[in-house]
Amino acid sequence: RKEVEQDPGPFNVPEGATVAFNCTYSNSASQSFFWYRQDCRKEPKLLMSVYSSGNEDGRFTAQLNRASQYISLLIRDSKLSDSATYLCAAEAAGNKLTFGGGTRVLVKP
Amino acid sequence: DVKVTQSSRYLVKRTGEKVFLECVQDMDHENMFWYRQDPGLGLRLIYFSYDVKMKEKGDIPEGYSVSREKKERFSLILESASTNQTSMYLCASSQFRARYEQYFGPGTRLTVT
Protein backbone atom coordinates (compact mmCIF):
# COMPACT_ATOMS: atom_id res chain seq x y z
CA ARG A 1 0.00 0.00 0.00
CA LYS A 2 1.29 3.46 -0.90
CA GLU A 3 1.99 5.77 2.03
CA VAL A 4 -0.12 8.56 0.55
CA GLU A 5 -2.90 7.77 -1.90
CA GLN A 6 -5.09 10.01 -4.02
CA ASP A 7 -7.82 9.49 -6.57
CA PRO A 8 -6.13 10.54 -9.82
CA GLY A 9 -9.39 11.92 -11.25
CA PRO A 10 -10.01 13.88 -13.32
CA PHE A 11 -12.73 15.63 -11.38
CA ASN A 12 -14.75 17.56 -13.95
CA VAL A 13 -16.29 20.55 -12.20
CA PRO A 14 -18.69 23.17 -13.58
CA GLU A 15 -17.47 26.70 -13.02
CA GLY A 16 -18.92 28.03 -9.76
CA ALA A 17 -19.50 24.60 -8.25
CA THR A 18 -17.91 23.07 -5.17
CA VAL A 19 -15.53 20.14 -5.44
CA ALA A 20 -13.93 18.07 -2.71
CA PHE A 21 -11.47 15.23 -2.83
CA ASN A 22 -9.55 13.20 -0.32
CA CYS A 23 -6.06 11.93 0.35
CA THR A 24 -5.44 8.93 2.59
CA TYR A 25 -2.22 8.32 4.48
CA SER A 26 -0.90 5.19 6.13
CA ASN A 27 1.56 6.55 8.70
CA SER A 28 -0.46 7.27 11.84
CA ALA A 29 2.55 9.14 13.29
CA SER A 30 2.35 11.88 10.65
CA GLN A 31 1.60 15.23 12.23
CA SER A 32 1.87 17.63 9.32
CA PHE A 33 0.11 17.56 5.99
CA PHE A 34 0.23 19.75 2.93
CA TRP A 35 -1.61 20.46 -0.28
CA TYR A 36 0.46 21.52 -3.26
CA ARG A 37 -0.94 22.72 -6.56
CA GLN A 38 0.75 21.81 -9.85
CA ASP A 39 -0.27 23.40 -13.12
CA CYS A 40 0.37 21.54 -16.35
CA ARG A 41 4.10 21.44 -17.13
CA LYS A 42 4.89 23.59 -14.10
CA GLU A 43 6.44 22.97 -10.70
CA PRO A 44 4.37 22.24 -7.58
CA LYS A 45 3.55 25.21 -5.38
CA LEU A 46 2.46 25.09 -1.77
CA LEU A 47 -1.26 25.77 -1.46
CA MET A 48 -1.98 25.01 2.16
CA SER A 49 -0.49 23.50 5.30
CA VAL A 50 -2.57 21.43 7.73
CA TYR A 51 -1.14 20.98 11.21
CA SER A 52 -4.29 20.41 13.27
CA SER A 53 -7.88 19.69 12.39
CA GLY A 54 -8.02 21.92 9.37
CA ASN A 55 -7.21 25.13 7.61
CA GLU A 56 -9.10 27.61 5.46
CA ASP A 57 -7.79 30.11 2.93
CA GLY A 58 -10.41 31.93 0.92
CA ARG A 59 -12.26 29.44 -1.24
CA PHE A 60 -10.05 26.56 -0.15
CA THR A 61 -10.65 24.47 2.95
CA ALA A 62 -8.53 21.56 4.10
CA GLN A 63 -9.70 19.18 6.80
CA LEU A 64 -7.84 16.45 8.64
CA ASN A 65 -9.53 13.33 9.94
CA ARG A 66 -6.96 11.54 12.10
CA ALA A 67 -9.29 8.70 13.07
CA SER A 68 -9.78 7.68 9.46
CA GLN A 69 -6.36 8.93 8.34
CA TYR A 70 -7.36 11.17 5.51
CA ILE A 71 -7.12 14.82 4.51
CA SER A 72 -9.63 16.51 2.29
CA LEU A 73 -9.46 19.61 0.12
CA LEU A 74 -12.62 21.50 -0.73
CA ILE A 75 -12.76 24.22 -3.36
CA ARG A 76 -15.80 26.49 -3.33
CA ASP A 77 -17.01 28.63 -6.23
CA SER A 78 -14.58 26.94 -8.61
CA LYS A 79 -12.80 29.15 -11.13
CA LEU A 80 -11.40 28.11 -14.48
CA SER A 81 -7.96 28.96 -13.05
CA ASP A 82 -8.41 26.29 -10.37
CA SER A 83 -7.81 23.63 -13.04
CA ALA A 84 -4.64 21.88 -11.92
CA THR A 85 -3.31 18.77 -10.26
CA TYR A 86 -3.49 18.87 -6.48
CA LEU A 87 -0.76 16.97 -4.67
CA CYS A 88 -1.20 15.82 -1.11
CA ALA A 89 1.89 15.38 1.07
CA ALA A 90 2.39 13.94 4.53
CA GLU A 91 5.26 14.17 6.94
CA ALA A 92 7.15 10.88 6.93
CA ALA A 93 9.79 9.26 9.10
CA GLY A 94 13.26 10.68 8.67
CA ASN A 95 12.13 14.30 8.28
CA LYS A 96 10.82 13.68 4.79
CA LEU A 97 7.67 14.46 2.88
CA THR A 98 5.82 11.72 1.08
CA PHE A 99 3.66 12.83 -1.83
CA GLY A 100 0.58 11.28 -3.31
CA GLY A 101 0.20 10.85 -7.04
CA GLY A 102 -2.07 13.87 -7.34
CA THR A 103 -5.71 14.54 -8.15
CA ARG A 104 -6.47 16.27 -11.42
CA VAL A 105 -9.23 18.86 -11.38
CA LEU A 106 -10.74 20.33 -14.54
CA VAL A 107 -13.06 23.30 -14.14
CA LYS A 108 -15.26 23.83 -17.18
CA PRO A 109 -17.39 26.81 -18.21
CA ASP B 1 9.89 35.73 -3.71
CA VAL B 2 11.87 32.56 -3.33
CA LYS B 3 13.56 31.59 -6.50
CA VAL B 4 14.83 28.12 -7.24
CA THR B 5 16.54 27.68 -10.58
CA GLN B 6 17.68 24.55 -12.34
CA SER B 7 20.44 24.42 -14.90
CA SER B 8 18.43 23.01 -17.80
CA ARG B 9 14.75 22.61 -18.71
CA TYR B 10 15.41 19.79 -21.15
CA LEU B 11 18.34 17.43 -21.38
CA VAL B 12 19.04 14.46 -23.63
CA LYS B 13 21.84 12.09 -22.70
CA ARG B 14 23.05 8.70 -23.84
CA THR B 15 23.11 5.55 -21.76
CA GLY B 16 26.26 5.37 -19.67
CA GLU B 17 26.97 9.10 -19.66
CA LYS B 18 27.61 10.95 -16.42
CA VAL B 19 24.94 13.59 -15.93
CA PHE B 20 25.02 16.65 -13.70
CA LEU B 21 21.84 18.48 -12.73
CA GLU B 22 22.32 21.70 -10.83
CA CYS B 23 19.98 23.62 -8.57
CA VAL B 24 20.45 27.06 -7.06
CA GLN B 25 18.23 28.85 -4.55
CA ASP B 26 18.50 32.49 -3.59
CA MET B 27 16.71 32.61 -0.22
CA ASP B 28 19.43 31.27 2.07
CA HIS B 29 17.41 28.11 2.73
CA GLU B 30 19.12 25.44 4.79
CA ASN B 31 17.26 22.49 3.26
CA MET B 32 17.46 21.33 -0.31
CA PHE B 33 15.85 18.33 -2.00
CA TRP B 34 15.94 16.39 -5.23
CA TYR B 35 12.80 14.58 -6.46
CA ARG B 36 11.85 12.78 -9.60
CA GLN B 37 8.30 12.83 -10.92
CA ASP B 38 6.87 10.08 -13.08
CA PRO B 39 3.28 9.56 -14.30
CA GLY B 40 1.34 7.40 -11.87
CA LEU B 41 4.17 7.39 -9.32
CA GLY B 42 4.06 10.98 -8.17
CA LEU B 43 7.00 12.77 -6.61
CA ARG B 44 9.68 10.55 -5.12
CA LEU B 45 12.53 11.82 -2.98
CA ILE B 46 16.02 10.93 -4.21
CA TYR B 47 18.31 12.81 -1.82
CA PHE B 48 18.14 15.77 0.50
CA SER B 49 20.51 17.98 2.42
CA TYR B 50 20.10 20.01 5.60
CA ASP B 51 23.45 21.75 5.46
CA VAL B 52 26.55 22.29 3.41
CA LYS B 53 28.45 19.05 2.77
CA MET B 54 25.64 17.09 4.39
CA LYS B 55 23.40 14.64 2.54
CA GLU B 56 20.73 12.11 3.38
CA LYS B 57 19.28 9.36 1.22
CA GLY B 58 15.69 9.64 0.23
CA ASP B 59 13.43 6.85 -0.93
CA ILE B 60 15.11 6.06 -4.25
CA PRO B 61 18.85 6.96 -4.05
CA GLU B 62 20.17 4.07 -6.14
CA GLY B 63 22.02 5.25 -9.22
CA TYR B 64 22.31 8.82 -7.96
CA SER B 65 24.67 10.88 -5.87
CA VAL B 66 24.60 14.50 -4.71
CA SER B 67 26.95 17.29 -3.81
CA ARG B 68 26.42 20.37 -1.69
CA GLU B 69 29.58 22.44 -1.48
CA LYS B 70 27.79 25.76 -1.03
CA LYS B 71 24.59 26.54 0.82
CA GLU B 72 22.77 27.83 -2.24
CA ARG B 73 23.70 25.02 -4.62
CA PHE B 74 22.69 21.35 -4.66
CA SER B 75 23.80 19.10 -7.48
CA LEU B 76 22.36 15.75 -8.52
CA ILE B 77 24.70 13.37 -10.30
CA LEU B 78 23.75 10.35 -12.36
CA GLU B 79 26.97 8.36 -12.37
CA SER B 80 26.04 6.25 -15.40
CA ALA B 81 22.73 7.24 -16.91
CA SER B 82 20.25 4.51 -17.75
CA THR B 83 17.00 4.62 -19.69
CA ASN B 84 14.97 4.05 -16.50
CA GLN B 85 16.30 7.39 -15.24
CA THR B 86 14.34 9.20 -17.94
CA SER B 87 12.12 11.45 -15.87
CA MET B 88 11.27 14.94 -14.69
CA TYR B 89 13.70 16.01 -11.98
CA LEU B 90 12.58 18.66 -9.51
CA CYS B 91 14.72 20.49 -7.01
CA ALA B 92 13.21 22.11 -3.92
CA SER B 93 14.37 24.15 -0.96
CA SER B 94 12.95 25.13 2.41
CA GLN B 95 13.84 26.92 5.60
CA PHE B 96 15.23 24.89 8.47
CA ARG B 97 12.19 25.58 10.68
CA ALA B 98 9.67 24.95 7.91
CA ARG B 99 11.25 22.03 6.19
CA TYR B 100 8.03 20.74 4.70
CA GLU B 101 7.01 24.05 3.13
CA GLN B 102 9.08 23.51 0.05
CA TYR B 103 9.69 25.75 -2.93
CA PHE B 104 10.29 23.96 -6.19
CA GLY B 105 12.35 24.79 -9.23
CA PRO B 106 10.89 24.55 -12.75
CA GLY B 107 12.22 21.04 -13.28
CA THR B 108 14.56 19.36 -15.75
CA ARG B 109 13.09 16.86 -18.15
CA LEU B 110 15.85 14.32 -18.72
CA THR B 111 15.69 11.81 -21.53
CA VAL B 112 18.24 9.00 -21.60
CA THR B 113 18.49 7.24 -24.94
CA–CA dist B48, B32 (Å, integer): 6
Nearest to A24 by CA among A11, A48, A5, A8: A5
| Digit-coded pLDDT (tens) for A9-30 | 999 999 999 999 999 999 999 9
Does residue A2 have a pLDDT over 90? Answer: no
pLDDT at residue number A96: 87
pLDDT of residue B2: 66
Residue of A nearest to B50 (CA): A95
pLDDT digits (tens, 9 = 90+) for B67-96: 999 999 999 999 999 999 999 999 999 998
Calculated CA dihedral for residues B67, B27, A100, B112, nearest 10 degrees: -40
A9 close contact with B: CB closer than 8 A: no
Quick: pLDDT tens for A73-92: 999 999 999 999 999 999 98
Q: Is the pLDDT of residue A94 over 90?
A: no
Q: Looking at the complex, report in whole angstroms how far the Cα of residue A98 sits from the nearest Cα belonging to chain B.
A: 7
Cβ contact B42–A49 (<8 Å):
no
Q: CB-CB: which of B41, B42, B105 is closest to A43?
A: B105
Residue A93: per-residue pLDDT: 81
Q: B106 and A42: CB-CB below 8 Å?
A: yes
Say if CB A1 and CB A97 are below 8 A apart: no
pLDDT tens, residue by residue, B94-103: 998 888 899 9
